């Protein structure tokens, strides 16, 4: 019994140092040395201020911006509290929430079929992307708010659409933050972009 | 299935096989004690470790000694983890000043990570410091996987050795699993993940001011190193609450592709190693074939169901078609970059293995889509299975299958030349019966007691599914959840903790006893009366036994849960 305890304890302490300290530190130093931008969270700075991360979705409510998906992380896009809605497919709350979102979009958008990602909350609550269909769906609203040509907005969406990796992995998607930054650099942000 | 989904599926299978074959051969060498090239560096390290621990590497342990060492080692680790979590605020590397965990939560987490379950009734970024994640959880991620590998290797020895008392040395098996297999793979994978965008730093959470002027706090930490071993070791406990759906844990379709492969890689490679160690690769292919048949059927059901979407959504004018520009299907609780295909494949694989990580929220799956991971866990996660536990799990089914086949033809059942007798069958059935006791027994207590029922958040059949899913996940040491279920109550933390312990050690101990008993037997030569265990007939028999065990035992529960939910609202059969 004493022999077993000694063996177990020695091995455990050793593994704590090797797998709990040595290994994470090795990965951390390699990561920081080789890919510092990614290792530090793929943050975006503008004029010395951090405005977010390419990988982490953030909320946009103004009419002049592309809107992201609904989010169940905290009060919405809380990047220190990721979460899906975890509502079941037959949940009355889910059906009502989606129904309300659809009604809002129909009021603004017209008769086009509604892209499903635009009215459902993502798994993480931090999905940085929307589908190309969801981006195009919003083009008219943005063109009107920014007094731009719809074709120009659609063109911007097409240029910012990230294709499937290697042509077949994952799905085509548009990064909302990148798209909105491109939009701002194309046409200066409006001072009044209230919802 | 559209062309693109088919391409992704083919690539996934092809790359998995390509990686599994050499890794399996390598693992067979490592665990047979043969020379390997990392051995040149690691041999002296190993020798030093054993001297420090007062071990003789060559000393064989009987199955009881092996099991004893395993239990002491595991519970010692869990005990230390428990204390570390409770007194988290006294440890360093806690830039968010997160407090210690409550007793019941610390118990649940310690048990959960020791047993390879990684059920999480907490959200990582809101609960655990960098110190706890690294020196607490990452360590257990390695050791739980290594323990599983050790047990599987001991069972393989039971088949290969003749008339021996020992089944190997637990400490040696664990050490070799960590140093030769898990550490090098994890380090490589961690660096790959950082490249793809998984953060790895010790900075405090970042304060950002968004374009619209809102403030956003972005959680950081030593993420990549933990995610690598979380995936490879079939652990599945996320760094963040949203697990592999979180863009920091699984940022790109490419990171997702390799994480999908890492879900099954070691489990499949171990089956290959098994074939090599018993000297008959056809046996390994037969097991893989049986696993793959079930996997294909279940994946097809899950994908089809999710791709069809939610009829209530379609009725509102939402576009359910999956195209190059539209996500389509049931996108509630799914991420755009992965889409329906990758979410359904992940859900099927994470529950077929004992991983339990998620890249989409199972609670929001369609009823039949959610039935698939539940079914996978209920049959005991033998469709590839976890690291180690998948192999010994399916070997239990194999023993039962040869026994049933033996009864049908009236001969003493054999497997790989070892006579399977009453003693082994009793142990196999004991290990097998524990799942229903845990899921249905404990699950029913949780359903009927007021303290347990408050955890259920959904109405009707879906609520029942939430509860069964939680207990199936704990019993099978999976760790995924219908996350609407509130696991973080004193009642559930303790009940689920107990179920995880039974699900882990209630299987490991009988399995080691089988290994010990088989190891002591002679190897009988193949004769006319031997049932071949590599042919199509055996594959079909084995598959049927797995389905019957899982299907029949749990059919009433499945009928009242997901199937009732499907019939009542999804198919429009019932009002």
Query: What residue spans define the domains of chain A?
Result: 1-40, 43-186
| Over residues B351-356, mean pLDDT | 90
Q: Identify the pLDDT of residue B284.
A: 92
d(CA B265, CA B277): 18
| Structural domain contains residue B119 | yes
Tell me which chain A residue has its CA closest to the CA of residue B142.
A19
* pLDDT given for residue B549 in this prediction: 79
Give yes or no for a contact between A87 and B457, defined as CB atoms under 8 angstroms apart: no
* Rounded mean pLDDT, B177-186: 96
Q: Full-prediction pTM beyond 0.90?
A: yes
Written as one string, the DSSP assignment of B15-77 is HHHHHHHHHHHHHHHHHHT---TTHHHHHHHHHHHHHHTT--TT----HHHHHHHHHHHHHHH
How many C-beta atoms lie closer than 10 Å to residue B90's C-beta?
10
Q: B470 to chain A: which residues are within 8 Å by CB? A: none
Give the residue numbers spanning the domain of B62.
19-279
Q: Does B253 touch chain A (CB under 8 A)?
A: yes
User: A87–B484: do the CB atoms touch at under 8 Å?
Assistant: yes
Give the pLDDT score at A195. 44
Q: Between B460 and B216, where is the model more confident?
A: B216
Q: Mean pLDDT throughout A103-126?
A: 89
pLDDT of residue A190: 60
pLDDT at A2: 81
- Number of helices and strands in chain B (H, E): 23, 5
What value does the mean pLDDT take over residues B523-537? 85
Give B390's pLDDT tier (boundaries 50, 70, 90): confident
Nearest by CB: A12 against B73, B240, B251: B73
Is A12 within 8 Å of B80 when comparing Cβ atoms?
yes
Q: Which B residues 46-65 touch A at CB under 8 Å?
A: 49, 52-55
Give chain B positions within 8 Å (CB) of A88.
363-364, 458, 462, 465-466, 482, 484, 565
Q: Is the pLDDT of residue B180 over 90?
A: yes
Q: How many helices (H) and strands (E) does chain A have?
A: 8, 6
Q: Which residues does chain A have within 8 Å of residue B358's beta carbon, measured at their own beta carbons?
A: 123
Supply the pLDDT for residue B48. 92
Residue B202 neighbours by CB distance under 10 Å? 16
Taking CB atoms and an 8 Å cutoff, what residues of chain A touch B327?
A: 115-117, 131, 133-134, 171
Per CB-CB distance under 8 Å, the chain B contacts of A172 are: 324-325
Contacts of A184 in chain B (CB under 8 A): 211
Residues 298-337 of B with CB under 8 A from A: 309-310, 312-313, 316-320, 323-337
Which pLDDT belongs to residue A110? Answer: 65
- Residues in chain A with CB shorter than 8 Å from the CB of B142 are 15, 19, 23
Q: What is the mean pLDDT of residues A125-152?
A: 94
Give the model's pLDDT for residue B528: 78
Residue A193 in this model has a pLDDT that exceeds 60:
no
Average pLDDT over residues B380-391: 83
- Whether B511 is covered by a domain: the verdict is no
At residue B58, the pLDDT reads: 75
Whether the per-residue pLDDT at A192 is higher than 90: the answer is no
Distance CA B340, CA B60 (A): 50
Burial B35-72 (b: 16+ CB within 10 A, else e): eeeebeebeeebeebbeebebeeeebbbbebbbbbbbb
Rounded Cα–Cα distance for residues B242 and B250 (Å): 10
Mean pLDDT of the region A97-119: 88
Chain B hits for A55, CB-CB cut-off 8 Å, are 197, 247-248, 251
Q: Which residues contact A150 (CB under 8 A, 6 or more apart)?
A: A139, A140, A143
Amino acid A112: pLDDT: 80
Q: A188-192 long-range CB contacts below 8 Å, 24 or more apart?
A: A189/A64, A189/B211, A190/A62, A190/A64, A190/A145, A190/A146
- Residue A14: how many other CB atoms lie within 10 Å: 16
Give the helix ranges, DSSP H, for chain A: 2-17, 23-34, 36-39, 92-109, 132-137, 139-146, 150-159, 176-186
For residue B140, what pLDDT is reported?
Answer: 96
Instruction: Report the residue of chain B nearest A10, measured CA to CA.
Output: B53
The answer, yes or no, to whether residue B82 has pLDDT greater than 90, is yes
The predicted structure's pLDDT at residue B551: 75
Whether the CB of B257 is below 8 Å from some CB of chain A: the reply is yes
Nearest by CB to A122, from B194, B335, B484: name it: B335
pLDDT at B572 over 80: no
Q: How many interface pairs between A and B have CB atoms less than 8 angstroms apart?
A: 395
Would you say residue A194 has pLDDT above 60?
no
Residues B85-97 have pLDDT tens digits of 999 999 999 999 9
Inform me whether the C-beta atom of residue B139 falls under 8 Å from chain A C-beta atoms. yes
What is the percentage of chain B residues whose pLDDT exceeds 90?
78
A-chain CB neighbours of B242 within 8 Å are 73, 82-84, 123-126
Average pLDDT score over residue span B203-217: 95
Place B553 in a pLDDT band, splitting at 50, 70 and 90: confident
Per-residue pLDDT averaged across B489-498, rounded? 95
Its ipTM equals 0.94
- Minimum-distance CB partner of B135 among A16, A90, A92: A16
Confidence label for B323 from pLDDT (cuts 50, 70 and 90): very high
Instruction: Give CA–CA dist B63/B423, Å, rounded.
Output: 15
Is B147 in CB contact (< 8 Å) with chain A?
Answer: no
Nearest to B378 by CA among B463, B462, B313, B465: B465
Whether the CB of A51 is below 8 Å from some CB of chain B: the reply is yes
Are B228 and B250 in contact, with CB atoms under 8 Å apart?
A: no
Q: What is the pLDDT of residue B135?
A: 94
Q: Is the predicted pLDDT of residue A114 greater than 60, yes or no?
A: yes
Residue among B232, B228, B245, B214 at smallest CA distance from B23? B232
pLDDT above 60 for B570: yes
- Residue tagged 């955890």 (tokens): B455
Instruction: Write out chain B residues lying below 8 Å of A7, CB-based.
Output: 53-55, 69, 171
pLDDT of amino acid B575: 35
Quickly state the pLDDT bin for A109 (edges 50, 70, 90).
Answer: low
Surface of A (125-154) touching B: CB under 8 A: 125-134, 136
pLDDT at site B1: 67
For the ranges A56-60, B183-187, B429-433, the lowest mean pLDDT is seen at B429-433
As a whole number, mean pLDDT of residues B355-372 equals 95
What distance in Å separates residue B396's CA from the closest CA in chain A?
28
Pairing type for strands B206-209 and B318-319 reads unpaired
Contact (CB<8Å) A119/B318 = yes
Are the C-beta atoms of residues B381 and B351 closer than 8 Å to each other? Answer: yes
Domain count, chain B: 1
Mean pLDDT of all residues in chain A?
92
Distance between A143 CA and the closest CA of chain B, angstroms: 18
Which of A79, A86, A87 comes nearest B218 by C-beta? Answer: A79
Answer whether A33 touches B (CB < 8 Å): no
Q: pLDDT tier at B435 (50, 70, 90 boundaries)?
A: confident
- With both helix axes pointing from N to C terminus, report the angle between B223-232 and B139-160 in degrees, rounded to the nearest 10: 20
Contact B331 A116 (CB under 8 A): yes
Instruction: Answer whether B1's CB lies under 8 Å from B303's CB.
Output: yes
Confidence category of residue B402, pLDDT binned at 50, 70, 90: very high
The pLDDT score that the predictor gives to residue B548 is 87
A9 interfaces chain B, CB cutoff of 8 Å? yes
- B177 in a structural domain: yes
- Over residues B247-300, the pLDDT tens digits come to 999 999 999 999 999 999 999 999 999 999 999 999 999 999 988 999 999 999
Residue A84 to residue B363, Cβ atoms within 8 A = yes
Collect all residues with Cβ–Cβ distance below 8 Å to B560 and sequence separation of at least 6.
B461, B464
User: Cβ–Cβ of A98/B316 closer than 8 Å?
Assistant: yes
For range A157-169, the mean pLDDT: 95
Structure tokens at A119: 């009215």
């Amino acid at each position: 019994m004493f022999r077993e305890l000694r063996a177990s304890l020695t091995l455990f302490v050793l593994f704590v140092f090797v797998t709990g300290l040595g290994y994470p530190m090795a990965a951390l130093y390699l990561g920081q040395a080789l890919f510092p931008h990614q290792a530090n969270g793929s943050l975006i700075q503008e004029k010395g201020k951090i405005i977010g991360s390419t990988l982490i979705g953030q909320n946009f409510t103004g009419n002049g911006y592309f809107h992201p998906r609904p989010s169940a992380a905290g009060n919405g896009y809380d990047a220190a509290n990721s979460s899906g809605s975890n509502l079941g497919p037959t949940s009355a709350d889910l059906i009502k929430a989606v129904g309300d979102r659809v009604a809002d979009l129909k009021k603004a958008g017209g008769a086009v079929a509604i892209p499903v990602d635009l009215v459902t909350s993502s798994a993480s609550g931090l999905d940085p992307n929307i589908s190309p269909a969801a981006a195009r769906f919003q083009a008219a609203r943005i063109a009107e708010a920014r007094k731009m040509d719809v074709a120009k907005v659609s063109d911007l969406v097409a240029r910012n659409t990230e294709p499937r990796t290697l042509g077949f992995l994952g799905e085509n998607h548009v990064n909302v933050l990148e798209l909105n930054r491109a939009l701002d650099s194309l046409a200066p942000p409006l001072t009044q972009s209230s919802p | 299935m559209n062309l693109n989904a088919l391409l992704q599926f083919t690539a996934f299978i092809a790359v998995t096989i390509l990686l599994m074959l050499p890794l399996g051969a390598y693992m067979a060498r490592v665990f047979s004690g043969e020379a390997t090239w990392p051995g040149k560096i690691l041999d002296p390290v190993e020798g030093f470790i054993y001297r420090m621990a007062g071990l003789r590497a060559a000393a064989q342990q009987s199955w009881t000694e092996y099991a004893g060492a395993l239990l002491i080692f595991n519970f010692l680790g869990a005990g230390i983890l428990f204390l570390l979590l409770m007194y988290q605020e006294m440890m360093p590397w806690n830039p968010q000043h997160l407090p210690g965990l409550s007793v019941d939560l610390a118990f649940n987490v310690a048990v959960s990570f020791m047993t390879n379950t990684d059920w999480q009734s907490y959200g990582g970024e809101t609960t655990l410091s960098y110190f706890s994640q690294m020196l607490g959880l990452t360590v257990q991620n390695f050791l739980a996987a290594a323990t599983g590998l050790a047990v599987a290797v001991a069972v393989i020895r039971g088949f290969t050795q003749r008339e021996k008392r020992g089944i190997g040395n637990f400490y040696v098996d664990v050490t070799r699993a960590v140093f030769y297999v898990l550490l090098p793979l994890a380090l490589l994978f961690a660096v790959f993940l950082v490249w793809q965008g998984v953060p790895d730093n010790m900075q405090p959470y970042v304060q950002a001011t968004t374009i619209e002027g809102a403030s956003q706090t972005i959680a950081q930490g030593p993420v990549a190193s933990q995610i690598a071993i979380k995936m490879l070791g079939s652990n599945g406990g996320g760094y963040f609450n949203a697990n592999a759906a979180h863009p920091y844990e699984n940022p790109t379709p490419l990171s997702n592709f390799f994480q999908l492969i890492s879900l099954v890689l070691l489990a499949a490679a171990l089956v290959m190693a098994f074939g090599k160690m018993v000297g008959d690769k056809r046996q390994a292919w037969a097991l893989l074939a049986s696993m793959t048949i079930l996997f294909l059927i279940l994946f097809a059901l899950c994908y089809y169901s999710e791709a069809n979407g939610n009829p209530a959504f379609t009725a509102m004018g939402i576009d359910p078609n999956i195209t190059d520009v539209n996500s389509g299907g049931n996108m509630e609780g799914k991420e755009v970059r992965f889409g329906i295909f990758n979410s359904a494949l992940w859900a099927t694989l994470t529950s077929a293995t004992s991983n339990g990580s998620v890249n989409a929220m199972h609670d929001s799956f369609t009823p039949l889509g959610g039935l698939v991971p539940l079914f996978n866990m209920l049959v005991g996660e033998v469709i590839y299975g976890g690291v180690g536990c998948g192999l010994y799990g399916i070997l239990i089914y194999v023993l039962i299958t040869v026994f049933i086949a033996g009864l049908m033809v009236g001969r003493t059942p054999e497997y790989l030349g070892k006579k399977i007798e009453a003693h082994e069958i009793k142990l196999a059935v004991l290990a097998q019966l524990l799942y229903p006791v845990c899921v249905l027994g404990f699950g029913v207590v949780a359903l009927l007691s007021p303290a347990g029922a408050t955890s259920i958040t959904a109405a009707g059949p879906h609520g029942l599914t939430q509860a069964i899913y939680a207990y199936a996940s704990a019993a099978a040491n999976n760790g995924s959840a219908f996350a609407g279920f509130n696991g973080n109550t004193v009642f559930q933390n303790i009940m689920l903790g107990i179920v995880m312990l039974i699900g882990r050690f209630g299987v490991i101990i009988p399995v080691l006893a089988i290994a010990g008993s088989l190891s002591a037997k002679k190897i009988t030569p193949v004769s006319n009366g031997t049932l071949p265990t590599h042919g199509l007939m055996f594959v079909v028999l084995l598959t049927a036994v797995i389905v019957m065990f899982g299907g029949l035992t749990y059919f009433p529960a499945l009928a009242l849960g997901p199937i009732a939910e499907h019939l009542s609202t999804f198919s429009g059969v019932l009002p």
